[in-house]
Amino acid sequence: MWKSWPVVTAQAVCRDKGAVHVQWINQKAQALTQGAIRAMFDRANTMTNVISMGIGEPDMATPALVREAGKEALDKGITHYTPNVGTMMLRQAIAEKSTLRDLHYDPSTEIIITNGGMGALSLLFLVLLENEDEVMIQDPQWLNYVAQVRYCGGKAVRVPTDMDHNFEMQPETIEALITPKTKALMINSPNNPTGSVMGKETLEKIAEVAKKHNLLVISDEVYNTLLYGDEPYVSIASLPGMKERTVVVNSFSKSFAMTGWRIGYTAAPAHIVDRMTKCQENFNACANAPGQYAAAVALDHQDLCDELRDVFARRREILLQGLSEIEGIRCNHPTGAFYAFPDISSFGLSSTEFCNRLLDEVGVVCIPGSAFGACGEGFIRICYTCGEEDLREALARIRRFCDGLRKA
In whole angstroms, what is the distance from residue 112 CA to residue 271 CA? 12
- 153, 220: one domain: yes
Domain edge (last residue) among 272, 298, 324:
298
Per-residue pLDDT tens for 213-231?
A: 999 999 999 999 999 988 8
- Residue 377, domain member (yes or no): yes
- Residue 8, domain member (yes or no): no
Q: To the nearest 10°, the Cα dihedral for 12, 370, 322, 337?
A: -80
- 52, 68: one domain: no
- 288, 326: one domain: no
Domain edge (last residue) among 281, 298, 315:
298
Q: Phi and psi for 384 in degrees, rounded to 5?
A: -95, 60
- 246, 387: one domain: no
* Amino acid 21: pLDDT: 59
In whole angstroms, what is the distance from residue 6 CA to residue 327 CA? 56
* Amino acid 36: pLDDT: 80
- Residue 25, domain member (yes or no): no
Q: Counting beta carbons within 10 angstroms of the beta carbon of residue 34, is it exposed (0 to 12), middle (13 to 18) or buried (19 or more)?
A: exposed
- 48, 134: one domain: no
- 268, 337: one domain: no
- Residue 22, domain member (yes or no): no
- 283, 386: one domain: no
- 96, 35: one domain: no
- 322, 237: one domain: no
- The total of structural domains in the chain comes to 2
- 288, 349: one domain: no
Contact criterion met (CB below 8 Å) for 175 and 209: yes
User: Residue 341, SS3?
Assistant: coil
Count other C-beta atoms under 10 Å from residue 83's C-beta: 15
Q: Counting beta carbons within 10 angstroms of the beta carbon of residue 48, is it exposed (0 to 12), middle (13 to 18) or buried (19 or more)?
A: exposed
- 200, 281: one domain: yes
Domain range for 197 is 64-298
In whole angstroms, what is the distance from residue 32 CA to residue 51 CA? 28
Which secondary structure element, helix H or strand E, spans residue 374, and what is its range? none
CATH of the domain at 148: 3.40.640.10
In whole angstroms, what is the distance from residue 247 CA to residue 268 CA? 5
- Residue 17, domain member (yes or no): no
* Amino acid 141: pLDDT: 95
> What pTM was computed for the model?
0.92
In whole angstroms, what is the distance from residue 85 CA to residue 107 CA? 10
Domain edge (last residue) among 277, 298, 319:
298
Name which of 334, 349, 328 is nearest 381 in CA terms.
334
Q: To the nearest 10°, the Cα dihedral for 74, 77, 79, 82?
A: -120
In whole angstroms, what is the distance from residue 167 CA to residue 164 CA? 7
pLDDT lower than 70: segments of the chain: 1-22
CATH of the domain at 357: 3.90.1150.10
* Amino acid 4: pLDDT: 41
Q: Phi and psi for 367 in degrees, rounded to 5?
A: -110, 130
* Angle made by CA atoms 167, 173, 176, in degrees to the nearest 5: 160
- 292, 377: one domain: no
Identify the DSSP state of 101.
Answer: G
Q: Phi and psi for 356 in degrees, rounded to 5?
A: -65, -45
User: Residue 124, SS3?
Assistant: helix
User: Residue 111, SS3?
Assistant: strand
* Amino acid 39: pLDDT: 84
Per-residue pLDDT tens for 17-73?
A: 444 556 799 988 998 888 888 888 888 888 899 999 998 999 999 999 999 999 999
